[in-house]
Amino acid sequence: MTETIGWELYRSFLGALQEGSLSGAARALGLTQPTLGRHISALETALGQSLFTRSQSGLLPTEAALALRSHAEAMHNTAATLERAARGFGTEVQGAVRVSASEVVGVEILPPILAALRQSHPRLEVELVLSNRLADVVHREVDIAVRMAPPQQDVLLATRVRDVELGLHAHKSYLERHGKPASLAELTRHALIGFDVETPFLRDARKHLPLWKRENFAFRCDSDLGQLALIRSGAGIGICQCGLAQVDPRLTRVLAKAVAVKLPTWVVMHADLRSSRRCKVVYDTLAKGLRRA
């Protein structure tokens, strides 16, 4: 390789990886399909590697493409961070701040906090990323993260805002039909709502509730929002945040003394962003709002 490869080629490559087809990537990136195809071909020529094989079902990434994916994603995150930083200069709180949170927190708790924040700072832009995966704050995948795990890296600024209690809950209509369990053993006679794929966190949580395993669930869903929707619909008994259930008169907690798991909630930001006015405002607002939530 004798010339620097333009970022637009890597951008098209990453889009094709994520979308699985030239047409899908072209739509996502606002390019024409021939242009995107030329970008992929140019990158393959520059790297001396075949990146995709074409099939009737779309684009299949080669081993080389899969090996390069994390590097392309890092470039994308860096470019996005650069854009957010450039748009945030000035004395006014303005520009984009990228915030990550779990599905339930992002949908059920953060919206009113963020809505009030933007009323105070109308030129602020918030990019809300909802995922139960821990976003990488160190490498600036996001600017700020709301997470249920303490930060491990020294370069992170973190504020513990509260403890979230989890418990078993069911809709009143379900309990009217099936009765309220009086013991953990009785749960086996109920329709339980739980996960499909076990994670390390769930494996650790099962130490407190041994019967909470895949084969015992009548409904399996890896989305916390999906599980919450099933609980609210009267499908069965599942785990949700006690604070959310308390404001919904239709939901009843069961076996409160036997099942009570507390998760600490943290607001996390890279320490280098303390000098960014927009990031500091969002960080402080989230910490304050979550303490009250």
> Cα separation of 207 and 265, whole Å?
21
How many structural domains is the chain composed of? Answer: 3
Residues near 176 by beta carbon (within 8 Å), at least 6 away in sequence: none
Q: Is residue 150 part of a domain?
A: yes
Q: Is residue 270 part of a domain?
A: yes
For residue 72, what is the domain's CATH number? Answer: 1.10.10.10
167 and 48 share a domain? no
> Cα separation of 171 and 192, whole Å?
12
Q: Is residue 282 part of a domain?
A: yes
Boundary-marking domain end, from 85, 110, 129: 85
pLDDT of residue 103: 94
Nearest to 289 by CA among 74, 144, 81: 144
172 and 258 share a domain? yes
- pLDDT tens track for 231-253: 999 999 999 999 999 999 999 99
pLDDT of residue 94: 85
Q: Is residue 1 part of a domain?
A: no
116 and 247 share a domain? no
Residues near 218 by beta carbon (within 8 Å), at least 6 away in sequence: 191, 192, 193, 235, 236
pLDDT of residue 224: 93
Q: Is residue 40 part of a domain?
A: yes
For residue 203, what is the domain's CATH number? Answer: 3.40.190.10
185 and 250 share a domain? yes
Q: Is residue 99 part of a domain?
A: yes
150 and 284 share a domain? yes
116 and 257 share a domain? no
Q: Is residue 142 part of a domain?
A: yes
Q: Is residue 129 part of a domain?
A: yes
117 and 232 share a domain? no
Which positions of the chain have pLDDT values less than 50? 1-2
- pLDDT tens track for 10-55: 899 999 999 988 888 999 899 898 999 999 999 999 998 899 988 7
Boundary-marking domain end, from 85, 104, 125: 85
178 and 63 share a domain? no
Note down the domain range covering 149.
Answer: 92-160+265-292
* Burial class of residue 40 in the structure, from the number of CB atoms within 10 Å of its CB (0-12 exposed, 13-18 middle, 19+ buried): buried
pLDDT of residue 90: 59
